[in-house]
Structure 1
Amino acid sequence: MSEIVLEVRRLRKDFHTKKGILKAVNDVSFAIPKAETLGLVGESGCGKTTTGRAVIRLLEATGGEILFEGNDIRKLDHKGLREMRKHMQIIFQDPFASLDPRLSVSETIREPLDIYGIGTAAERADKVAELMSLVGLAERLANSYPHELDGGRRQRVGVARALSLEPKFIVCDEPVSALDVSIQAQILNLIQDLQEKLGLTYLFISHDLSVVKHISRRIAVMYLGKIVEITKSAEIFKNPLHPYTKALLSAIPIPKVGMKRDRVILEGDVPSPINPPPGCIFAGRCKFAMPKCRERDPALTEVSESHEVKCFLYSDKEQGGAE
């Protein structure tokens, strides 16, 4: 079995609001082996980005464990976390909003090296040139500013910045969703090429299953703060089990004239994450819902090799442990 770089156990992230406690991430667990990609997919607002940011402690988790190479990073003090950040980075969704408009391309990529005091001025300049070449940025762009670049080049700057400290693990938070379709494939291919060259491990977050399929070895489907299905990429397209996963897949258009999928239309409203109803979080929108679905929360259970699903259609085990 491959070495596990990141293991998340029963992760929780709550936000206190005037109306109550919003459970953005609720009892999420997964593991990512070295040099592999786990795709995390779901509708907007399901908790994907919150999960990614909590994993690298941009947001402080409410509960659970985050094990990076066996060490729980939630227990690290400021000094330990600062050192750990060299190994865990993030590529943000909006390349324009995530770049400092006052810094040129070279200054943006060099900034992490400056902060950590790595190398001499000449060595940092060489490192910046090396990173620009690695991500496909022309040398002539070194003194350009974010507003002078198109979306694809801005995202390449973001990728280069994330790589500057030579991390082992990167959260890719919808890195192509803000880009033109013609540019998306270029950035996805770049991210894959970098993984092969550098042995990187990714948590790839997206609302688009077709994008996740292109880059991920395994896919986790998230709904209202919980993972409802997780399995190999090919398996989830060939044999989806959870009713929510089937609905997501049915919405993907077929790139052939005249061919359409049988759409699964979800009825009802998404329940509030502040005061969720008892039982299965998907019961109110599921046509297969049974009385017990509104009373108990199903466990995320392995139903075949490397295929887990959170549904009473495949398991009648109650969720273990207290939240």
Structure 2
Amino acid sequence: MSVRTFRCASDALPDETVDAVVIGGGAAGLNGGLMLARSRRSVVVIDSGTPRNAPAEAMHGFIVLDGTPPPDILKRGREQVRQYGGRVVFGEVASAEPAAPAADGDLRFAITLADGGTVTARRVLVATGLRDVLPDVPGLAEHWGHGVVHCPYCHGWEVRDEPIGILATGPASVHHALLFRQLTDDLVYFTRGTDLDEDTRARFTARRIRIVDAPVQDVVTGEDGGIAGVRLSDGMFVARRVLAVATGMQARTDGLDGLKLPMEDLPDNMGRRFASGTAGTTEVPGVWVAGNATDLTAQVGASAAAGALAGSHINALLAAADTDAALAAAQGGTTA
């Protein structure tokens, strides 16, 4: 599967300790960085340049920006972070871990990039997003983001009235089928060995959702380069123009082992995420998480909102830490 990357000029890493490093340059990370920069915090956003929605032609389901190509949104987001003094650095995080505290006891974190660059921060916001794991069906991955879709709210309108097939991956696919049935009258559910009880079969029949139990052999590409249909193990061909898949969703964790962030599995093998609390707080002091890295089903708008909330929370706790340091300095007979 080819993935487009969205890169532009990279800012330099600062030598001095910054207030916050944001790991991830998608909607959550950029909005978190924006809130911090607008609060006059020194902030560095580290962007791998490989967002989850890279294959998509446009982003949908977010008022005002609906229909905007993802590269345009990210470009504008970076510009806005920089407008307030924030830095956006392109690179992969090789390691992130707690460092020796400052003289006043405040937290410190050391972030090292794959190219050897380093930066020290007082706080960290993890907004790495997630990876979609597709079922191992030959011919499927090459159509990801075009003829193969996962979200009825992100892509449903664009595939309305098309012959759609649901490639079942587990219990979540049943719900998936009912949502896509709202978008087309021609829906086929390929069970692919997953369980489908009699009650669900009856409900599908009532909604005129055709059920195919024969194993799927591969996805067939048509002469136009799009999906032509699905070939079954018995040789039968089922014509489809679109395939919908409830992907496995795995939070991106590369380079983050040193933070020792707790993770948790979602039910029904839906995926694995970073555990978080209110405003993206984690069990690790000084580290927050926002966006798809912790909320696997969040769309762009929800991820951006989570980043903003986490950024404002980080700023609030930094303000309290700054005040504590100033008070301790004043009581010690020095000026902060």
**If the length of structure 1 is used for normalisation, what is the TM-score?**
0.25
Give 1 or 2: higher helix fraction: 1
**If the length of structure 2 is used for normalisation, what is the TM-score?**
0.24
